[in-house]
Structure 1
Amino acid sequence: MEPLTLGIVVMAAMLVVVVIGMPIGYALLGAGVIGYAVLSGPSQALTQIGLVLWDNGTNFLFIAVPLFILMGQIIFHSGLAEDIFALAQRGTRRLPGGLGVSTILASAGFGAVTGSSVAAVATMGNIAVPQMIKHGYSDKLAAASVASAATLAIIIPPSIPLVIYGVWSETSIGALFIAGIVPGIVLTIFYALTVMVQRRQYPPTSAIVDRLKQEDMPMSRLLVAALSIALIFLLVIGGIYVGIFTPTEASGVGVLGVFVISVVARRLTAEALRAALKETVRTTAAIFLILTGGVILSRFLVQTRLTDAVVSLVAGLDASPQAILIALALMYLLLGAIMDTFGMLILTLPLVLPITIAIGYDPIWTGIYLTVLMEIAMLTPPIGLNVFVLERVTGVPAQRVFAGVWPFVAASLLLVLILIYFPALATWLPQTMQ
């Protein structure tokens, strides 16, 4: 069999097994190993497994992944996220849909100290959805607001997907983090406006409930939470921006900072720390398997020249760069319906990154573009990881959540179009780094 034909067959077979339910990590690893075994022999396939495991396991940059996950888990299990929500709630209570807006802002604040969307949706789902339903929001709008806002955690730095992208593409993770700040702020504003517009559809009496004085936490406790989040964000992202820390060093400093704040505030118990460590190990192992399988598969695709063939095909199209990027965005919407976001990222990078470079877009811009598309995939059916996590946490049926996320998906797609036609939105800030 010709190498190019073999590459197409392996890719098609891998998509089939993903559709029928095989976990993406195993599918990527199996496709890469089997493809290598057919192309170059079993010994070469086994050699690739050893090389990739060693390369990933000893990669200094990859250390940032479990540390950033641990940051979010400590914030979650120590209860500091509840204080963030209470503070945002106090500041937005006079706005129409103020409770929903506070959910968006609190999720953005939580995203500023963790890179995990799943942690964000589990945390804010427990805190915000019951409050929103209690104060007159439909379960559809309440749950959709939380599921959508949680995706901000992977665009606002630090971001686990951006770390994975940076490791795989050999792009500066620090520059990627800085590039995510402005699009993250823009998307936060879009989501807040989306909630406010939908909230106006309700009778005025429901909106008044948002302004009712709720049971307040002591202001001193809220200020501690606000200052803690601001301090950690400035320490981690500010340190990267001015060149004091590498992203990996910043992740260690961030974990230490969150740990000290939680201990001093007497919010971190031994049981909470144990739960945070356990979840960190579990999540990191899943990501590591996906990354390992994806690297082996990408190396196999290079050997078959499938990547070169796809890039040449796209480069030969009589279409503008913007039209090509819009077509890629549609492709990601379809892929998001059959696989999880990390698998989708690793699977497509060998093909998509060369295409975006060939049509004149910066690799840093590509990382932000793909991350926003990953956000959309976390909301859309039938997989929609955030939606199903929220269903387990709150009991709101997934069908109701899916029905409510489309205005937020539209807001995200608007950001995608802005990024395509105004790429400087993501690239100008990294250019100011020292």
Structure 2
Amino acid sequence: MMSTVIISLLVVVACLTLGVPLPFCFGGGLMVMSILGGATMKGMMLWGLGQITNPVLLCVPLFIFAGTLMSESGIAKYLLDFVNVFVGRMRGGLGVVASISCAIIGAISGSGFTGVAATGPILIPRMEQEGYPRGYATALVTDSSILGLLIPPSVVMIVYGWVTETSILACFLATVGPGLLITFLFALINVIWARKFDLKLEPKLPPKEKWNEIKRRTRLALPALMMPFIILGGIYGGIMTPTEAAAVAVIYSIPVGFFVYKGLTLKNFYEIAWNSATSVGAILIMILFCLMLSQTYVMLRVPQALVQVIFDITQNKVVLLVMINILLFFVGMIVNDITGVILIAPLLLPLVQAIGIHPIQFAAIMGVNLAMGGVTPPYASILYLGMRIGKVEFMEIVKPAMILLLLGYVPVVFLTSFWPDLSLFLPRLLGYL
């Protein structure tokens, strides 16, 4: 039976290499399993449809819709202006604005795409006017956008909690520490790196004028700033489930976009709804096939076989964690984060539990590794989106993007793996462990 599993995996890898759309890659692997006797297609389809109608998954389309509304409505612009008034006039301040703004936007949308789509068109030209190279500005905004996958509520953590049957709220909290640390490191690296650029800074405001500007921008940004407080406060206060919070985010964004910031019109609202629906359709089809393939592996006891094979190689916890991180990094390079979670989490969870890793810590390990894949070729969907928004060539963005990852992101990947308290401190503090 293991030969059937290996053949199906080879089909999946071959399809990914040839650029076949993701749902059909996993559908091909599932078909091989069905033909060779590893699974019955009818039974798996009925099981998969039962799973994909789970109310928990309703978070995914709702947060995607909320993030797109936020991007188009003007909410992101006022958030940027609010952050900019505090640090925008210092040397390297606009880069700090990029990192912090993407973290805030991540706390609203749960998506990496929203960060670059919402902040890129505003920040990249402004950074270029101040003297940043356009390739560097695009790389910083793009890399910072993956914070949306870590700062809660995170769609990836919702899917992980659903697949592994662990607390979604605890999974949310597990990535807060790594996400905030990456935000700080990106901002610090930018401040140091900005010394090399000939920046044209705006003159600093006198204290009285700055205070008046802070009050003015706070007043304008207040409706936007209320979103993360409502969403996160509702979730952790026990008032709303993550699905209900996602619905509230959509309901809140619509009147704010139409009547407060007036970035929404009937025409672009229809386009936003249409684009969100097509994105959600593609994602859910991919989740269905990936989930079915993953379940066939679980039924054939592939996780247990994988644990035995790896333990035959080594039982050293440090070596095993390094191997797991390398595997997750390569998975993130070829598939998106949601697919990686559905496919890999059920396979590796027995292994990490066998070496004493808590499932909530493993949620953070998977989150930081797979998020990195969004800006790491060949998959690098967020990187390619950033290139289009920043209007730069691949060679202009790849060097600064990889340096930022190497210095500001990779260290946090290993800290998350080898320092459990980074991801488990908040869940313990709030009583989720």
With the length of structure 1 as denominator, give the TM-score of the two structures. 0.92
Report the Cα distance in structure 2 between the residues aligned to 1:25 and 1:258, rounded to whole angstroms.
Answer: 31
Query: What secondary structure is seen at the aligned counterpart in 1 of 2:20?
Result: coil
Confirm or deny that 1:418 pairs with 2:415: yes
Question: Which of 210, 220, 226 in structure 1 is aligned with 2:201?
Answer: 210
The answer to whether the Cα contact below 8 Å between 1:315 and 1:358 also exists between their aligned partners in 2 is no
Match of 1:200 in 2: 195
The answer to whether the Cα contact below 8 Å between 2:298 and 2:347 also exists between their aligned partners in 1 is no
Match of 1:382 in 2: 378
What is the CA distance between 1:36 and its match in structure 2?
Answer: 2.8
Query: What secondary structure is seen at the aligned counterpart in 1 of 2:109?
Result: coil
Query: What secondary structure is seen at the aligned counterpart in 2 of 1:245?
Result: coil
Question: Which of 414, 418, 427 in structure 1 is aligned with 2:424?
Answer: 427
Question: Which of 1, 13, 38 in structure 1 is aligned with 2:11?
Answer: 13
The answer to whether the Cα contact below 8 Å between 2:85 and 2:213 also exists between their aligned partners in 1 is no
Confirm or deny that 1:97 pairs with 2:92: yes
Q: Deviations over 1:365-385 (max 9, x none)?
A: 111111111221111122311
Confirm or deny that 1:363 pairs with 2:359: yes
Confirm or deny that 1:84 pairs with 2:79: yes
Match of 1:337 in 2: 333
Unaligned runs of 5+ in 2: none
Match of 1:265 in 2: 260
Match of 1:139 in 2: 134
Match of 1:242 in 2: 237
Match of 1:296 in 2: 292
Q: How has the CA–CA distance of structure 1 residues 40 and 185 changed in structure 2, closer, same or farther, with 3 Å as cutoff?
A: closer
Report the Cα distance in structure 1 between the residues aligned to 2:231 and 2:378, rounded to whole angstroms.
Answer: 36
Q: In the TM superposition, what are the counterparts of 1:43-62 in structure 2 within 5 Å?
A: 44-57=40-53, 59-62=54-57
Q: Deviations over 1:86-111 (max 9, x none)?
A: 22222113433111111111111111
The one-letter code matched in structure 2 to 1:152 is L
Report the Cα distance in structure 2 between the residues aligned to 1:349 and 1:404, rounded to whole angstroms.
Answer: 31
Match of 2:30 in 1: 32
Greater shift, 225-234 or 243-252, is seen at 225-234
The one-letter code matched in structure 1 to 2:404 is F
Unaligned runs of 5+ in 1: none
Q: Deviations over 1:392-422 (max 9, x none)?
A: 2221112211111122212111111111121
Q: How has the CA–CA distance of structure 1 residues 225 and 27 changed in structure 2, closer, same or farther, with 3 Å as cutoff?
A: farther
Match of 2:324 in 1: 328
What is the CA distance between 1:121 and its match in structure 2?
Answer: 1.2
Report the Cα distance in structure 2 between the residues aligned to 1:84 and 1:343, rounded to whole angstroms.
Answer: 31
Greater shift, 331-340 or 321-330, is seen at 331-340
Match of 2:110 in 1: 115
Q: How has the CA–CA distance of structure 1 residues 308 and 225 changed in structure 2, closer, same or farther, with 3 Å as cutoff?
A: farther
Match of 2:20 in 1: 22
Count of equivalent residues: 424
Question: Which of 303, 306, 311 in structure 2 is aligned with 1:307?
Answer: 303
Over the aligned positions, Cα root-mean-square deviation in angstroms equals: 2.2
With the length of structure 2 as denominator, give the TM-score of the two structures. 0.92
Greater shift, 281-290 or 137-146, is seen at 281-290
Q: In the TM superposition, what are the counterparts of 1:388-407 in structure 2 within 5 Å?
A: 388-407=384-403
The answer to whether the Cα contact below 8 Å between 2:139 and 2:386 also exists between their aligned partners in 1 is no
What is the CA distance between 1:319 and its match in structure 2?
Answer: 4.2
The answer to whether the Cα contact below 8 Å between 1:387 and 1:398 also exists between their aligned partners in 2 is no
The answer to whether the Cα contact below 8 Å between 1:32 and 1:298 also exists between their aligned partners in 2 is no
Query: What secondary structure is seen at the aligned counterpart in 2 of 1:112?
Result: helix
The one-letter code matched in structure 2 to 1:382 is P
Match of 2:225 in 1: 230
Query: What secondary structure is seen at the aligned counterpart in 2 of 1:200?
Result: helix
Report the Cα distance in structure 1 between the residues aligned to 2:421 and 2:312, rounded to whole angstroms.
Answer: 26
The one-letter code matched in structure 1 to 2:286 is I
